[in-house]
Amino acid sequence: MARPDTTSQPSSHRSYNLLFASSPVVDNLFAKKNRYWLLGGGAAAVVLVFTTLLIMVIRQHQRASAFESLRDGIAMLQNGKAEEAILPLEQAETYFRSGDEVQLVEFYLFEAYRQTGKVDKAKTLFEKMNQSGKDSGYLAQILFLSLGRNAEKGNDLQAARKDYEGAATLEGPFSGDALLSLARVAEASGDPAAAATAQEKYLLSYPNSPLTEIFKQKSGK
């Protein structure tokens, strides 16, 4: 009597095995597809990270260049090279859009325009500053300093001193500049006491300034 075939399976079970059973060919195809997907996703992530780092480096370089232009422009202006100061100051202006740097750029660029006789550009820049919502103390400080430097350049020390005193009494980013100018004019006018007072106020407001040691040595402190 023949034994029943215990190895035979229902057709539905065989179909299930055919669909879901693992085979080297299926495994190989699945591994390849996943490997390509992983490689593609990894490459995209690397590109994203590289792009982000590149943008950060470019922005840092642009900011450093803008600061260098600002420093160069200020140095040229203070050394009497107003015409040469315009280009680096304009380059700095194109970068800085907010913060204290904007106020510095606008002030020194305004001065450079004024000193070189570019009245229309100076007027346009001043109107721009006025329309941007700057506080009146800031604008008044700019005007006082500009008038003071103009008077000092014309050797009208009394008028220059008055304008610098007006600028020094206002709250703004150029209070230190006003005090230094006041001290310089007071000393040139033969009033060392007023010069010393202005220097002391400067030292109190800016204790970490490079000029601190110089003023202390002059005053004997």
pLDDT of residue 158: 94
Residue 159: both structure tokens together: 């008028």
pLDDT of residue 20: 46
For residue 28, give every residue at least 6 positions away whose Cβ sits within 8 Å of its Cβ, in sequence order, or none.
Answer: none
DSSP state of 135: -
pLDDT tens per residue, range 102-145: 777 888 888 898 888 887 888 788 777 767 655 556 777 877 88
Half-sphere exposure of 146 (CA within 13 A, CB side): 21
For residue 119, give every residue at least 6 positions away whose Cβ sits within 8 Å of its Cβ, in sequence order, or none.
Answer: 113
For residue 69, give every residue at least 6 positions away whose Cβ sits within 8 Å of its Cβ, in sequence order, or none.
Answer: 88, 89, 91, 92
pLDDT of residue 198: 93
Cα dihedral 215→217→218→221 (10° resolution): 90
Of the candidates 139, 131, 134, 74, the one whose C-alpha atom is nearest the C-alpha of residue 108 is 74
pLDDT of residue 105: 86
pLDDT < 70 regions, the chain: 1-63, 98-100, 130, 132-137, 212, 215-221
Structural domains of the chain sorted by starting position, each given as residue range(s) with its CATH number in brackets: 135-221 (1.25.40)
How far apart, in whole angstroms, are the C-alpha atoms of residue 116 and residue 27? 79
- Only one residue has tokens 């206002």, namely 170
Q: Indicate whether this model's pTM tops 0.75.
A: no
How far apart, in whole angstroms, are the C-alpha atoms of residue 81 and residue 221? 35
How far apart, in whole angstroms, are the C-alpha atoms of residue 128 and residue 160? 26
pLDDT tens per residue, range 201-217: 988 888 877 776 776 66
